[in-house]
Amino acid sequence: MKILVISGFLGAGKTTFIKALAKHTGKDFAILENEYGSVGVDGDTLKDSMDAGNVNIWEMAEGCICCSMKGDFTASVLTIANTVDPEYLVIEPTGVGMLSNIIQSLQEIEYERISLLAPVTIVDGHSYERYRREFPELYRDQIASARTIVASKMEQADAEERKVLGKKLREWNPDALIVTEHYSGMSSDWWNRLLESGYDGQVLKDAGANTEGMPDTFSLNGVSLESPERLILLMEQIVYGQFGDIFRAKGHLRAGGRMFRFDVADGQYSVMDMDTDQEGKAVFIGNDISRQKLRRVFFRRREKGAPVKARAEISRS
Ligand SMILES: [Zn+2]
């Protein structure tokens, strides 16, 4: 599943752009839409306007996927990958979502089956100066984190105005592809490339429809451990196959009062200190993952009369 994030400030025209993307590429994709509250502000919801027959649309409301619903967001993306597994998932954050946070969350769950496409930010060229003044941090984040920036609402602008806008956008993002012409005139090559360019610039090949032998993903939220030593032990146990054939594990959690980020890949692990406090999360990817056993490591039940430290199985080696 390839993920394309289409970011942009309130009213920039993200929904219209997504519709154009569907039309120009002719690809079927699933959409994950994040809305504040239950009704879209502009009333132009995707569900009403796209052919609902072949588009899967999920909505996440009542919070923001870049911050308050961060954990729900990655869990939803993993669930979509593991159930529907569309070739493309387009994510439309709220207008006030920090694109850099969303990219970071997605990178944490990126693996063989989930890859991040170069994100797009739509900028309302008409309101650019005002938003830039009023919401500098947010606005800059959306512009600076994108790989393609598309200006909208520039129908009335002349060549000079487009050039000026392009220059200003370039100041905040020297590397992105910046389009100040109306996107309806872009070639089909350009549209297709949006679905092929990886986040780091490489061209992604088609993942193909073969799901046989695909690995399993298991994620846990709200995890913590009692000490850093316990975390190291867990890493060792994963590498030595005590929880099944796990070839990739990633996450962050609190262990003995400190926050750590951990990573397991190719039979090696790393554990690093983290200075931000976040809800604990762990993702395991592999075959025949011992889910119950892993769950017990983090959420052991206190048995009557047993000391807190006593727990089944994990000390067997
Ligand atoms: Zn947010």
pLDDT in tens, 248-274: 899 999 999 899 999 998 888 999 999
How many angstroms separate the alpha carbon of residue 65 from the centre of ligand 1?
Answer: 6
How many angstroms separate the alpha carbon of residue 72 from the centre of ligand 1?
Answer: 12
Return the pLDDT at 51. 54
How many angstroms separate the alpha carbon of residue 161 from the centre of ligand 1?
Answer: 32
End-to-end CA gap in the chain: 37
Return the pLDDT at 317. 31
Q: Which residues pair with 249 in a beta bridge?
A: 264, 284
How many angstroms separate the alpha carbon of residue 76 from the centre of ligand 1?
Answer: 16
How many angstroms separate the alpha carbon of residue 285 from the centre of ligand 1?
Answer: 27
Q: How many helices and strands (H and E) does the chain possess?
A: 10, 14
Residue 132: DSSP 8-state: H
How many angstroms separate the alpha carbon of residue 9 from the centre of ligand 1?
Answer: 12
How many angstroms separate the alpha carbon of residue 162 from the centre of ligand 1?
Answer: 30
Domains for the chain: give ranges and CATH numbers: 2-194 (3.40.50.300), 216-298 (3.30.1220.10)
Rounded percentage of the chain residues whose pLDDT exceeds 70: 84
How many angstroms separate the alpha carbon of residue 200 from the centre of ligand 1?
Answer: 24
Rounded to whole angstroms, how far apart are CA atoms 8 and 14?
A: 6
CB 36 within 8 A of CB 64: yes
| AA letter at 19 | K
Mean pLDDT over each residue of the chain, to the nearest integer? 84
